[in-house]
Amino acid sequence: MREFDVAVVGSGYVGLVTGACLAYIGHRVTCVDKNERRVADLQRGKMPIYEPGLEEMVARGRSAGQLRFTADLPGCAREAEVVFIAVDTPPGEDGSADLSNVAAVARSIGRALSEAGERERPLIVVNKSTVPVGSGDYVSMLVREGAEEAGNGSVDFRVVSNPEFLREGSAVYDSLFPDRIVLGAESREALDTMRELYEPIIEQSFPAEMDPRPKAAVPFVTTDLASAEMIKYAANAFLATKISFINEIANICELVGADVSSVAYGIGLDGRIGPRFLSAGIGWGGSCFPKDVSALRSIAREYDYEPLLLDAAVCVNERQRKQVISKLQRELHTLKGKRVALLGLTFKPNTDDLREAPSLEIARTLSSLGARVVGYDPVAAKEAARLQPELKAAFDPYEALRGAHAAVVVTEWEEVRSLDPARAASLMEEPRVLVDGRNALDPERCRRGGLLYRGFGRA
């Protein structure tokens, strides 16, 4: 394989995982970040995020001399063959993606190219950030503007869309063993270069510490820029809608006396539906689904189109969080003066990500209704308490349960799944309510242990 010189701009969740994995398969990678403190931490091996396996992957790349960190974007852009843009695109007030970070990077790349002079090959500029349809053309315009500002608009580059499909908690695995690699470009030359870059992953030819490998080869999907950008939004919107669908079914199950777990298992065996993303509960959160669904709705409205199905998916998701409060009120009658323990605070297990986490919204609502809220999480309790001052942090699940009238399973960490119901009940105050927001615990075991169990979609 050919060893590429790669720059990855943005050393957050996507950028750091991408850079570490590209270094692992044999490329020379420089991760760039404008936050000099983050760069200094990474140079010492200190991680800015919690992601299983990432710290070891970064350490391996650094020790092999394949991975380094810097704040010098112009220098990296001049030397690199491929530059990935992996900066944050947060939602604006109207739900649309804020591209100001992408724009700043694109202009800086243009200035660097202008100052570098003639190149042997065109620079490949890769949009790895989740960006709206049309952003490839937008980035091309900004690179040229940056070059013109520096005095030389005749710069040689190609823009590629390469959306990420990483799941927090398994991002390293997803990078090395993806379901597919999607590339969009108007240049055949750029697509061929990217295929060469990804060849060790496509062919699964890199050394891997697992046997057998999950798959023999990875599908390599090439299309135009706009379609590649839409694939990312469509994938996340579909998964969010699937979760909202099973939550709608769960609410009907409660009314008619059916069990949504059995229903989900039964319909999941249908090959047209599949079993994944059919877990009922308090709904979806995190950094991707809310932002991407919101952005796709915003894009539709730019064209005077009302995305009714996506709107409904969001409405169902918002209602699920309110269901937690309703279930607690039904059993406690009043929340004033009651102590409620939230078990798990991140939006999903095996990450420290609290963006759009249901726990924070539930904590705010409970506090506004007069409850005293304590929250346990194995990695994010302290940060959650900083973000939500009404939330008291606990660093052991049983500490959180002590003196609580009710508990809510918000995130199904293994430490939460393995709770001893009898021990939990012995620490709690009457009526010892447990609202299982992820249907993660055994209802009968909880009841035998002395807890008043309430799940989602369970009769």
> Residue 196 — φ and ψ, nearest 5°?
-65, -40
CB burial string 237-265: b at 16+ within 10 A, e below:
bebbbbbbbbbbbbbebbeeebbbbebbe
280 is in an annotated binding site: yes
Quick check: is 288 catalytic? yes
342 is in an annotated binding site: no
119 is in an annotated binding site: no
Q: Please report the beta strands in 106-179, taking only residues with DSSP state E, as ranges in sequence order.
A: 123-127, 157-161
291 is in an annotated binding site: yes
CB 157 within 8 A of CB 123: yes
281 is in an annotated binding site: yes
262 is in an annotated binding site: no
Q: Which of 21, 76, 253, 288 is catalytic?
A: 288
285 is in an annotated binding site: yes
Of 37, 40, 38, 29, the residue nearest 11 (C-alpha):
38
7 is in an annotated binding site: no
168 is in an annotated binding site: yes
Instruction: Describe the crossing of helices 225-256 and 308-332 by its angle, rounded to 10 degrees.
Output: 40
Q: Is 145 exposed, middle or buried (0-12, 13-18, 19+ CB in 10 A)?
A: middle
Of 455, 439, 457, the residue nearest 256 (C-alpha):
457
The whole-angstrom separation of Cα 208 and Cα 60 is 13
130 is in an annotated binding site: yes
100 is in an annotated binding site: no
32 DSSP β-pair partners: 9, 70
327 is in an annotated binding site: no
154 is in an annotated binding site: no
167: alpha, beta or left? (left if phi > 0; alpha if psi -120 to 50): beta
348 is in an annotated binding site: yes
167 is in an annotated binding site: yes
8-state DSSP, 220: E
- Residues labelled as active-site residues: 288
Question: Annotated binding site for NAD(+): which residue ranges?
Answer: 33, 38, 89, 130, 168, 291, 355
Residue positions forming the annotated binding site: 33, 38, 89, 130, 165-168, 232, 277-281, 285, 291, 348, 355
